[in-house]
Chain A
Amino acid sequence: MEQILANGLYLGAQYALIALGLTLIFSLMNVLNFAHGQMYVFGGFVTYTVVAQFGLPFIVGLIASAVVLAVMGALIEKFLFRPVIRKSKRDESTMLLAAGIAFFLDAVILLLFGEKQRGVPKIVNGVFNWDMRLIMPYDRILIAALAVALIVGFILFMQYSRTGRAMRALAQDRMAAQLMGVDVDRYSMIGFALGAMLAGLVGGLLVTITGINLGMGGPASVKAFLMIMIGGAGVISGAIAGGFILGMMESIGLTVLAAYGDVTYLAIFVTLMVFLSVRPQGLMGKPWG
């Protein structure tokens, strides 16, 4: 039991970090970022390149992938999303753009990094063992702790910094924020960059444990959608809750339902459908997004 809970927390911390980026972008610009999974994979490959190819320490790789992804996010917002949002008749057009960017990133990753599974050497060796009841490698504990630290840092940033406050205002009411003198364009760009940066950071963290390959982007996006549906789209606390809930459900499901074959995700999806038909806006979301 302790093992299941610990696994759930470990998964949940990573998931929450992915969902945070997605929900931030959604709340600021009403864009469902299909390319989020690809950004995450890209971040993983950047860390891999810096650590395994250039032989630099892990932390440098992590920072590199955060910076690369933040720049990429800012550019994507400024040159792609902004003009399309301005010109198109329907909000949904941004989904095509996001899907196009997802394909594009896939192509770029394929050309730059190839299709092989990549990983970096373990950053810490050894396994934590509590009386055979709870076994967890130290590097996983470290990654989970880093993820939690990043989540806490992100919340503090959104809560107390000037930029964070501006972005929260934007998420609440774009028009009102603009009338109060918030530079909407600038903070949309910062928000998108921040969301992409979080995706890159998760990629960088996970490359040490699970490795990274081209095919991971799509499923990661689907999982991130699940999490923000559970928690409610566009709400930061909801994304964190959604991440931990999904992590916990996955961990419990894999243990309890193992006897029935590979049905964990099927069970999760069905539960989610039932849950959403009772509470369409998720745990903490605003009605009708």
Chain B
Amino acid sequence: MSNPRILGIAAFLLAVFVLVPVFINLTGRWDFYYTLTSVALLSVAAAGVWLTFYIGRINIGQGAYALTGGYVSAILITQYGVSFWVTLPVAGLFCALVSVVIGLPILRLRGVYFAMVTLVLTEVARLTALALPVTNGAKGITSIPLPGELSLFGLTIIPDFATLENPKLAFYLMAAVLMVLTYLVLWRIVNSRLGHLCRSLQQNEELSASIGVNTAMLRVLSYAISSFFGGLAGAIFVAISQSIYPSSFVVQDSVNFMLYCFVGGLGSVFGPMLGTLLLYFGWDLLSIAKEYQLLIYSGTMIALMLVLPNGVLSLLDRKGGRK
């Protein structure tokens, strides 16, 4: 690893964990915590979408897994009294399991077909949540307690959120940690044997199958990892809002996850993170424009697409010469 890269990562970590809280403390804009927490969590889900892009599939179904993860966590907490920290990995694993079952048939589809099926999947998740008795239908699950204490051998690692004087900061730090971990994992995957195999899938599936790559297994594995991220993000969202409804994650959200990846750029691991920051934060800042908010937002998005059709991070490619 080269020195500039280490410096860059250090600067990023410093900005996320030190500069942002200091800045918010100084300016008193406490609402930014909520926005930035959302950015961090959405970028976790978007990381999953990016991974499916990496094997050459357009995934517009991440909302379905975020919703599933959220419901798993909410039901375990409210009905079985399980600690939030236990439900977090359970929600992720449950989503991964569901995605394997669903992924086995639908990952045979390609291109627009896969995109459309995953889009429909979000709608299926919403309708299932409405129809099942355990999810409490349209009324949703509300007044979910805040995350409790996490201790190991009597040593408190994370204190009870309800006793904190500033749960917003705690949620922000938790989301930021999760985001950093997610991108670390993603970066590791991309720069491993698995990543190389995924790239071969993206370029030509038949060819890579013909030289002995187990494409079916690889596809399902990537999709499961992707859904795991979606489930995690969904579970934390539920913990923050302390409620979940069938309409918590809808088709619009799934499309947004895809857009975050596109705007940031599909060529780089950090594309989805940047894209989420730009789009979500930009949307929040544009709220001063009132009724023209959506007009300016979408106009900018179209303009961005015309100028940089390969994502914002494609600017870096050009500077670095040919790849």
Whether B262 contacts A103 by the Cβ 8 Å rule is no
- Whether the Cβ atoms of B302 and A100 lie closer than 8 Å is yes
The segment out of B37-45, B109-117, B213-221 that lies at the interface is: B109-117
Closest residue on chain B to residue A280 by CB atoms? B109
Is B124 positioned at the interface, with any CB of A under 8 Å from its CB?
Answer: yes
A83 to B304 alpha-carbon distance, docked (Å): 12
Contact indicator B106/A269 (Cβ below 8 Å) = no
CA distance A280 to B104 in the complex (A): 13
Judge whether A95 and B262 touch: CB under 8 Å: yes
Q: Which of A103, A229, A273 has the most CB of B within 10 A?
A: A103
The tally of residues in A whose CB lies under 8 Å from a CB in B reads 50
A:46-104 near B, CB below 8 Å: 80, 83-84, 87-93, 95-97, 99-101, 103-104
Interface string of B259-292 (1 = CB under 8 A from A): 1001100100000000000000000000000011
Which of B113, B131, B291, B294 lies in contact with A262, CB distance below 8 A? B131
Residue of B106, B119, B251 near A273 (CB, 8 A) is B106
Task: Answer yes or no: A256 CB below 8 A from chain B CBs.
Answer: no
Our count of residue pairs bridging A and B at CB distance below 8 angstroms stands at 137
Q: Is A104 a contact partner of B113 (Cβ separation < 8 A)?
A: no
Contact (Cβ within 8 A) B113 A229: yes
How far is A267 from B302 in the complex, measured between Cα atoms in Å? 36
Which of A10-18, A106-114, A132-140 is the contact stretch? A106-114
- In the complex, which residues 210-256 of chain B have their Cβ closer than 8 Å to any Cβ of chain A? 251-252, 255
Which residue of B113, B131, B294 contacts A107 across the interface (Cβ within 8 Å)? B294
A226 at the interface (CB under 8 A from B): yes
Segment 34-53 of B: residues with Cβ below 8 Å from A: 53
Task: Write the nearest CB–CB distance from B65 to chain A, whole angstroms.
Answer: 15
* Chain B, 97-127, CB within 8 A of any chain A CB: 102, 105-106, 108-113, 115-117, 119-120, 123-124, 127
Chain B residues with Cβ below 8 Å from A84 are: 305-306, 309
Q: Which of B112, B127, B310 contacts A269 (CB 8 A)?
A: B127
Partner pick for A34 among B127, B128, B255, B262, CB 8 A cutoff: B255
Q: Which residues of B contact A228 (CB under 8 A)?
A: 116
| A97 contacts across to B, CB distance below 8 A | 302, 305
Residue of B nearest to A85 (CB): B309
Interface centre among B115, B127, B309 (most CB of A within 10 A): B309
Cβ-closest chain B residue relative to A288: B110
Is A125 interfacial (CB 8 A cutoff)?
A: no
Q: Give the residues in chain B near A276, CB-CB below 8 Å.
A: 105-106, 109, 113, 117
Find out whether the CB atom of B298 lies under 8 angstroms from the CB atom of A107. Answer: yes
By secondary structure, the B interface counts as: helix
Cβ A93 vs Cβ B305 within 8 A: yes
Contact A104 to B302, CB < 8 A, known contacts A233-B113, A273-B105 = yes
A106 CA to B302 CA, complexed, in Å: 14
B297 at the interface (CB under 8 A from A): yes
Interface flag for A266 (CB, 8 Å): yes
Q: Mark A235-273, 1 if CB is under 8 A from B, else 0.
A: 000000000000000000000000001110110011011
A195-229 interface mask toward B, CB cutoff 8 Å, 1 = contact, 0 = none? 00000000000000000000000100010011011
Asked if A7 is an interface residue, CB under 8 A from chain B, the answer is no
Quick check: A103 and B294 within 8 Å, CB to CB?
yes
Residue of B nearest to A272 (CB): B120
For A262, list chain B residues within 8 Å (CB). Answer: 127, 130-131
* Interface CB pairs A-B, < 8 A, 26: A26-B112, A32-B116, A80-B306, A84-B305, A88-B309, A89-B310, A93-B262, A96-B301, A96-B305, A99-B255, A99-B259, A101-B302, A103-B297, A103-B301, A104-B298, A107-B295, A107-B298, A111-B295, A218-B251, A222-B120, A229-B120, A276-B105, A276-B117, A277-B108, A288-B113, A289-B111
Given A95-B58, A99-B259, A262-B130, 11 more pairs with CB closer than 8 A: A87-B309, A95-B258, A101-B298, A225-B119, A229-B117, A262-B131, A276-B113, A277-B105, A289-B110, A289-B112, A289-B113
